Structures are given as structure tokens and as C-alpha cells.
Amino acid sequence: MTPAILLARKAKIPHTIHEYQHDAEAESYGGEAAEKLGQSPERVFKTLVVQLDAALAVAILPVNRMLSLKQMAKAAGSKKAAMADKVLAQRSTGYVLGGVSPLGQKKRLLTVLDDSSKQFSTIFVSAGRRGLEIELAAADLQALTQARLASISAED
């Protein structure tokens, strides 16, 4: 049981847990999740931790897209954004890279959810460890994380 799953249960939101055998040799955690779950990569979202001017923030976007740091900074009301230091990201979220969930993080960070999530009835995000995904409505994810909705991605 991960903090992400506990949070979804406590909030009583509809969700489904999907587990798959993680391959340590996989080049892309998100790509592997989409493939092993038989889902379109547009519907499987990755969680990235970014460094803003003075704080960390979370970006949630489809696994087949690249984060636009410029758009992320704008959505967060910051002058600039950069990818956060990996150790700092793990320490702040309480999760290991490749298993960072936007739910149940140790510290609540400003969160931005890519607006492409609106096109799906449900999306998939990490449930808090590699090989474990949680499927839920994007609106529920937005509410649980208090996320801002914005265009923060560019096609791969």
C-alpha cells in the first residue's frame, strides 16, 4: 500500500490499481507502463519535479510528450523552471524516480496538470512505485493535488 493509494481511498474517489512487472532495463518508465498496460501513451501521465525560482513544483503530462519548461514556468507564475535535482525530487516527494506519484507526496508542492488530460474519462499516473499505476478521473487527480490546468507539454 503506497501513500498515493491510501490518499485515493481516504478521499473515496473511484480508482483502479494496475500492476505490471517492471523491467529494470526499460529505457522509459512511462513508455513501459503504457506498453505493458496496453494503453495509449497519451493517456498515461508522468510526474516530473521541477525547480522554479525559489521552490519545487510538480508537472503531470503524457509520457509521450516533453515538458515545456517555459510553459511550466508561466503556468506556475515563475520566471523560469528547470528540472529539479534527482536527490532533491526524491527527498521532497518520498518516492523513487520512475515511481513518483503526484498523489501522497511528503510535501505538497504546486502542481500543474497538462490540459490534454481533459480529453479522457480516466488517466493513469504512478501509484508510488515502479510497476504500479493508478487509474482515475483527471478531475479527481486535479482536485486531490489542487493542480492548475495548463498546456505544459510539447509533442515528442
Q: Pick the closest to residue 34 from 71, 69, 65 (CA basis).
A: 65
- Domain-by-domain residue ranges, the chain? 3-155
Rounded to the nearest 5°, which phi and psi values hold at 44? -105, 125
Strand, coil or helix: what is 128?
Answer: strand
Full-model pTM: 0.95
Q: What is the pLDDT along the chain (156 residues), one digit of tens a residue?
A: 899 999 999 999 999 999 999 988 888 889 999 999 999 999 999 999 999 988 999 999 999 999 999 999 999 999 999 999 999 999 999 999 889 999 999 999 999 999 999 999 999 999 999 999 999 999 999 999 999 999 999 754
**Distances from the Cα of 78 to the Cα of 7, 9, 138, 150, angstroms:** 29, 33, 24, 14
CA angle, residues 24, 49, 96, in degrees to nearest 5: 35
CATH 3.90.960.10 assigned to domain 3-155? The reply is yes
